[in-house]
Amino acid sequence: MASEPTKAWLLGDPYVLMRIDGKVVVLEDRCPHRLAPLSAGRVVDGALECAYHGWRFDASGSCTTVPSLGQGSRIPTKARCGRPFAVTERFGLVFVAPDEPIAPLPDISAFDEPERVRVDLDPVGGRFGAGFLIDNQLDMAHFAFVHRGTFGTGEARVTPHYTVERRDWGFTVDTDIAIAAANDPDVASGRRPLHQHRHMRYSYLAPFHVALRLDYPVMGGSNVIVFFAQPETADRSRMYVTLLFEQPGGLTASELEDRVAFERRVVGEDIALQSRFDVLELPLDTSVECHVRADRASVEYRRILASLLDEAARARPVARLDGSDRTSDRSPATVASPGEDSTSHPRHDRARAATAR
């Protein structure tokens, strides 16, 4: 993320992101003067300057300059921009908690494994529900149908038995499933069979994060796929996908290119169907949909989100950094953007997830 202001939507609210003195700053994207979007402005001398009347705001959201008043004039106390409760950079994303967080950020050890090659796919954004985007990544019963063109195989029509291990605001699932290993370069030469198995570990954390580890006992190596979804507005969401490859002996440039292209096709198959959904709001009442045994992970996902919303509704009003009090009635979230790990608030480890760039 560059120093120039960038607009990002999160939970229906517009935010402006920028770097000031090397640190990420996030403010509400409305100038208190005439509600102009501050993202249309610029950073000047360590302050955000509104494009409309030149008012300037420091990293805390306080107004430092009102040109029309003249130098030395008293600046109204109301001349300040709202700020989220907490902002944290991690995994190349910016996580924003509009109110005091309930669930923590995930700990993804694969990012620190030196043998892995990292590739960030282009974010996917559009008319999607964030809840359904993550639900899709927790589902394995669709492999044989949605992914016929990549790794889906008829052997995977029946979902193997699995157990959901609940952990606070998340869970893990381990299973083995049949695949068509079209991403194995030795299949075409006949050195390895097309039909193989892979071990899968799902690690979910509320509200909208999944890390999926894929181990290939026949082909060798593994891939960790990290998903974060960002609910931008009521009818628009964005998903960020990071690939972390590990292959014995490493990957040549062409092999890496082929592996990345394969994963892009897999994501494309999911998105092609998700884009046709009419309903965008994930039902958290488990009686609304017809669930079967293969849906254990999806059901637990809905239960966790319902519990999270209940917890947020019970939360006491929290003092926001703009001086107002507000009861947390929604999930803290994330705004995505490349960067080094840092934090602007000591409670950053409790920040929760959604996303925007």
Q: What are phi and psi of 237, to 5 degrees?
A: -140, 165
Is residue 36 in some structural domain? yes
Query: CA-CA distance, 299 to 253, in Å (whole number)?
Result: 41
Residues 325, 292 share a domain: no
pLDDT digits (tens, 9 = 90+) for 283-303: 999 999 999 999 999 999 999
Is residue 291 in some structural domain? yes
Strand pairing category for 117-120 and 342-343: unpaired
* Confidence category of residue 334, pLDDT binned at 50, 70, 90: low
Structure tokens at 234: 């009521």
Query: CA-CA distance, 242 to 227, in Å (whole number)?
Result: 7
* Confidence category of residue 351, pLDDT binned at 50, 70, 90: very low
Q: Is pLDDT above 50 for 349?
A: no
CATH number of the domain that 255 lies in?
A: 3.90.380.10
CATH number of the domain that 337 lies in?
A: 2.102.10.10
Residues 188, 42 share a domain: no
* Confidence category of residue 333, pLDDT binned at 50, 70, 90: low
Residues 185, 290 share a domain: yes
Query: CA-CA distance, 110 to 113, in Å (whole number)?
Result: 5
Number of neighbours of residue 91 by Cβ within 10 angstroms: 22
Residues 208, 137 share a domain: yes
Query: CA-CA distance, 229 to 66, in Å (whole number)?
Result: 38
Note down the domain range covering 35.
1-102+318-357
Residues 93, 123 share a domain: no
Apex 264 CA angle, 136 and 289, nearest 5: 10
Number of domains observed in the structure of the chain: 2
